[in-house]
Amino acid sequence: MNRKLDFWIPQFGADEKALVADVLDSSFLNDGEVTTQFERQTAELLGCRHVVATTSGTTAIFLALAGIGVGAGDEVLVPDVTFIATANAVTLAGAKPVLVDVDPQKLTIDPQCIERAITPRTKAIVPVHVSGRAADMGGILDIAKRHGLLVVEDAAEAFLSKHEGKALGTFGVAGCYSLSPNKTITTGQGGLIATDDDRLHVRLRELKDQGRPERGSGGDDAHNSIGYNFKFTNLQAAVGLGQLRDLSRRLERMRDIYRGYAEGLRGVRGVSVLPFCIEGGEVPQWTDVFVERRDALYDQLVARRICGRRFWHPLHTQAPYRASDELFPNSTKLVPHAMWLPSAFTLSDADVTAVCGEIQEILA
Ligand SMILES: Cc1ncc(COP(=O)(O)O)c(C=O)c1O
């Protein structure tokens, strides 16, 4: 390729710069009114009662788990295929992440395997909507109900991706989003927690701000409980509000990039595009594929300046969470074949067609 095609490039414009300048001029940089405005706008978009903004997707999951009372002695079910942050957030809450194998078609947590992993210590399930693809929420909520478990969704990669018209992250008691640089909207780092539960909302606010449910004075405030400092500043929120102004175009571009790959790679031997349910409202954060000889394709694409990304190693193969391959037949077999294709908003339709052509040539 003449031009390098990136896996992802965050985009910013005049809106973000002007809104950040306003915050700087106001001289109130802390978590404040602009943060509240950003929380209200995202809650409205997601169709939930509350959003609490925080420092990252990881802290969002931690706060949600701590907020529902998960702690020492508890077990939390987490898929074996996810970014390690999901399990680390459980560990941060003092609980034990228990890994669960995934559905071989979608690479999201497999409800049948969930049933087998439940013990008397299990308190919650954290399904992950990998690449913006909905985990089987019907099956998961049904199991959760039968066993008295709480569901906190890791929707880090699924901001405004929907399942049957309802935003992912709004099915469980709380849903957590990441605003890191390779997401639909970014504030550099940042996270959001969506919930309809008024009490949990108050608890989340306390936990993110030293036990104060309302923004404090910094002086003679009442601190109802132990909390931390996971605040989200007006500066970050200004960037976020600017990003939201470009949201519809971005969501459409992400869907179009996926459609282009699905069309361009249809019938090509050695590669298959993982499907998204676009009609139901799913938004592909990045287009993912299974490839027979993944590493060879990945390397040859990089040599042609086409930058994809290989999937994360299954969590059971990472040092902190090591376990036997035999317990995870699907992730063990499939993850070495999974990768993401370049998915940056900056890719034109012609770029996507060109990538498909290069893949066809390499695989032939
Ligand atoms: C599935 C998943 N969970 C959690 C996270 C953690 O989010 P953050 O990087 O904002 O802490 C990510 C991050 O990209 C992710 O992809």
Residue 136: closest CA among 158, 165, 106: 106
The answer, yes or no, to whether residue 85 has pLDDT greater than 90, is yes
User: Phi and psi at residue 229, in whole multiples of 5°?
Assistant: -120, 95
The answer, yes or no, to whether residue 145 has pLDDT greater than 80, is yes
Third-level CATH fold of 247-363? Aspartate Aminotransferase, domain 1 (3.90.1150)
The answer, yes or no, to whether residue 244 has pLDDT greater than 80, is yes
Does the C-beta of 187 come closer than 6 Å to ligand 1?
no
Does the C-beta of 180 come closer than 6 Å to ligand 1?
yes
Residue 57: closest CA among 191, 230, 182, 173: 191
* From 106, 129, 133, 180, mutation site for ligand 1 pocket: most ligand atoms within 8 A of C-beta: 180
- Digit-coded pLDDT (tens) for 164-203: 999 999 999 999 999 999 999 999 999 999 999 999 999 9
- Digit-coded pLDDT (tens) for 121-143: 999 999 999 999 999 999 999 99
Q: What is the overall mean pLDDT for the chain?
A: 97
* Residue spans per domain, the chain: 14-244, 247-363
Does the C-beta of 243 come closer than 6 Å to ligand 1?
no
Atom index in ligand 1 nearest the CA of residue 191 equals: 10
Q: How far is CA 30 from the centre of its chain?
A: 25
Provide the pLDDT for residue 261: 98
Does the C-beta of 128 come closer than 6 Å to ligand 1?
yes
**Dihedral (CA of 257, 108, 105, 310) sign:** positive
Atom index in ligand 1 nearest the CA of residue 178 equals: 10
Does the C-beta of 169 come closer than 6 Å to ligand 1?
no
Residue in the block written with tokens 């478990």? 149
Q: What is the pTM of this model?
A: 0.98
DSSP 173: S
CATH architecture type of domain 14-244: 3-Layer(aba) Sandwich (3.40)
